[in-house]
Chains A and B, each alone.
Chain A
Amino acid sequence: SQQGEEDPQALSIQEGENATMNCSYKTSINNLQWYRQNSGRGLVHLILIRSNEREKHSGRLRVTLDTSKKSSSLLITASRAADTASYFCATDPHSGNTPLVFGKGTRLSVIA
């Protein structure tokens, strides 16, 4: 079963606006990661936030993590048409050597 669930499934915004995507998960985690996928092929790692961190920034990306609510959000500020892609959260479960579990993703469309 999916560990991470992204919300919304799809998001369409105008260039320059901010985009916010959310991820909820079910079990305790070591870390949570966000990946981007263009054209249904390889994924690119964006950012990793550990369970003892609450917020992390990288360029125009801001990620928050609330372990009490088992949720995370990814904010992309001042969006560009090139940000159009699918965004996935992936959780590293706390229990043993369990592989990363990916959600189904949020499809972001940025309209120029």
Chain B
Amino acid sequence: GAGVSQSPSNKVTEKGKDVELRCDPISGHTALYWYRQSLGQGLEFLIYFQGNSAPDKSGLPSDRFSAERTGGSVSTLTIQRTQQEDSAVYLCASSSTGFNEKLFFGSGTQLSVL
């Protein structure tokens, strides 16, 4: 694809429900990153993948958050038993030139937990 694709673009859910966010990186990009951004704030790192493995999961806020990547491509971020403080824009990025170099971002998923 032409760029990083994220779906859904917007998600409204009720507190306590589970949500699944999807990221389709640029073809051939080996590194994939998840960040989240609360209103007016910077980006908070969540997790990254090199291929299908996630060397660093320390950014996940709680055990309600999990992520996986299959086939070195699509990644899903799952939030279980959502809370209001989970409301944010969840951004996915991928890169090919090297770890932490020139990230290409998707348009994000706006998650609203009511």
CB-CB under 8 A from A100, the residues of chain B are 33, 45, 100, 103
Among B92-114, those with CB < 8 Å from A are: 93, 99-108
Interface residues of A in 51-104 (CB under 8 A from B): 88, 90, 92, 97-104
> Quick one: which of A30, A31, A100, A102 has the most chain B CB within 10 A?
A100
A48–B108 touching, CB < 8 Å: no
Out of A33, A98, A101, A104, name the residue touching B41 (CB < 8 Å): A104
CB atoms of A40 and B42 under 8 A apart: no
Q: In the complex, what distance in Å separates the CA atom of A99 from the CA atom of B37?
A: 15
In angstroms, Cα B90 to Cα A41, docked, is 9
Candidate in B33, B40, B48 with the most chain A CB atoms within 10 angstroms: B40
Q: Which residues of B contact A101 (CB under 8 A)?
A: 45
Question: What is A's interface to B at a CB cutoff of 8 Å?
Answer: 2, 4, 30-31, 33, 35, 40-45, 48, 88, 90, 92, 97-105
User: 26 interchain pairs (CB within 8 A)?
Assistant: A4-B42, A31-B100, A31-B101, A33-B101, A35-B105, A41-B89, A41-B108, A42-B4, A42-B91, A42-B105, A42-B106, A42-B107, A43-B43, A44-B105, A45-B103, A88-B42, A88-B43, A92-B101, A97-B99, A99-B45, A99-B100, A100-B100, A101-B45, A102-B35, A104-B40, A104-B42
5 nearest interchain CB pairs?
A102-B43, A104-B42, A42-B105, A92-B100, A42-B107
